[in-house]
Copies of this chain bind each other. A is one copy, B any other.
């Protein structure tokens, strides 16, 4: 791996937001956070690995649920302070068992757009 994660711009907590997008469909699945070591592990293993702010621990997506994210591409934005992970998502990305975490529209009344996956 030749990319150096320390060249990214992290917030005061040493974190950078990472958007996960399904390859092919373009569906936005979720947004979570990474630190420099998460970025390195994601690139090194090909398994998307976030930093859990609540657990203060590495979070290999799908490690317990099986709903893994296989890395296809990792992109950085113009300011180097946000990442876009293009992934192959197995099953639901959301802990509510929906495909995407963005299942609620708030234009006008709140509306649920997506049922949990069976």
Contact = CB atoms under 8 A, between A and B. Distances in A.
Contacts of A76: 102, 104, 106, 110
A55 to B, nearest CB: 14
Contact of A106 (B31, B75, B110): B75
Contacts of A74: 105-107
Number of copies: 2
Contact of A101 (B26, B31, B78, B106): B78
B3 A17 contact: no
Nearest to A101: B77
Given A17-B31, A71-B107, 17 more contacts: A3-B109, A19-B19, A26-B27, A28-B84, A31-B77, A75-B102, A75-B103, A75-B105, A75-B113, A76-B102, A76-B110, A77-B101, A77-B104, A78-B94, A78-B98, A79-B101, A82-B101
